[in-house]
Amino acid sequence: MVNILNLAPITDAEQRAIEAVDPSVTVIDAAGWFNGEVCETWPSYATRRFLREMRDGKGTRQERDAMLADCDIILGGYPCPLDLVSRSPNLKWFHQRQAGANNLHDTDLWGSDVIVTTSRGINNVIPIAEYIVAGALYFGRQFNRAWADRQAGAFDRSQYHPIAAAEKTMCIAGAGGIGTEAGRLAAALGMRVVGTRNTAVSDPADLPEGFSEIRGPGGLADLLKISDFVACCVQYTAASENMFNAAAFAAMKQGAVFINISRGEPVDEDALYDALQSGHLKGAVLDVYRGETEHAPPERLWSHPNVLMTPHSSGRADIETAFGVELFSENLRAFLGGTPMRNVIEWDRGY
């Protein structure tokens, strides 16, 4: 038997799909059971946000330990218990329902011998890509001016200088699953789309739909100089921390718009604020900020007239794409068959 311990809510249909992969598979539903432990070990700002009313957990510590002792696989979400490896002697694979990996840094999963996979490239790709394009249009069409005029109680038409998206350039820093979909949508509006990945795409035939070029990380500075809109879609790693710093913002075109759906840590928020205050940037759309699991947004950005901030909600939509049960089932077949799995975290790379 292969026991999968599920720590986050899934639908009956998703559970049936997982158990249909192989007769040996059993899904044990422990959604909410560990929430009390999580509330004791994670910042209260994070647990209030993500657990809301489900904060007490279920069962006794002994019952939860028994579940962990019997499991081979854990299907987890954020936030999760910090000590899953030490309490799960048979654990071989942990799947992170979210796309990012950095929220596992403080757990004993990080750097362990357990296989850890994520939903990178699957998790809410379409809604987040639409958010990126909507953010570009928000400032491109100067909807922020309409809000300012409403607050003032009168139109000031002299302050409206909108631009058309067609023939402008969108730079996607981190052209993975989300980034490539955002690029496709931007190209459909007539934009020229460029981007970066860990490895440059040298053959035009290999470029994702809508992209005119994709460079390696070292090519970002040159792309910033020609881009009207810049979207940060990178994974948060040691290499990406503060990649959007004062030099990066200075390299951007006058009047560019910056959009961040990644994590807050790739952005130097002091440098971003300075670029906005000076008028070098037209605006910034931020679905994330530094320390978002620990405290409220920085007031000077949240209240800035040229900043649109949302509560890490870019992935929400009326379509259900958050879990990616197909990816998990595909990886489960690979796990049972001993073949390579998708989205396995490489500890030295950081995702």
Q: Which residues are annotated as catalytic?
A: 263, 292, 312
Exposure pattern of 159-178 as b/e (b: 16+ CB <10 Å)?
eeeebebeebbbbbbbbbbb
Q: Report the half-sphere exposure of 55 (CA within 13 A, side-chain side).
A: 14
Residues 6+ apart with CB under 8 A from 309: 286, 287, 289, 297, 301, 302
Residues 6+ apart with CB under 8 A from 147: none
Structure tokens at 186: 């931007």
Q: Interhelix angle for 177-188 vs 125-140, to 10°?
A: 50
Instruction: Centre a 10 Å sphere on the Cβ of residue 334 and count the other Cβ atoms it contains.
Output: 15
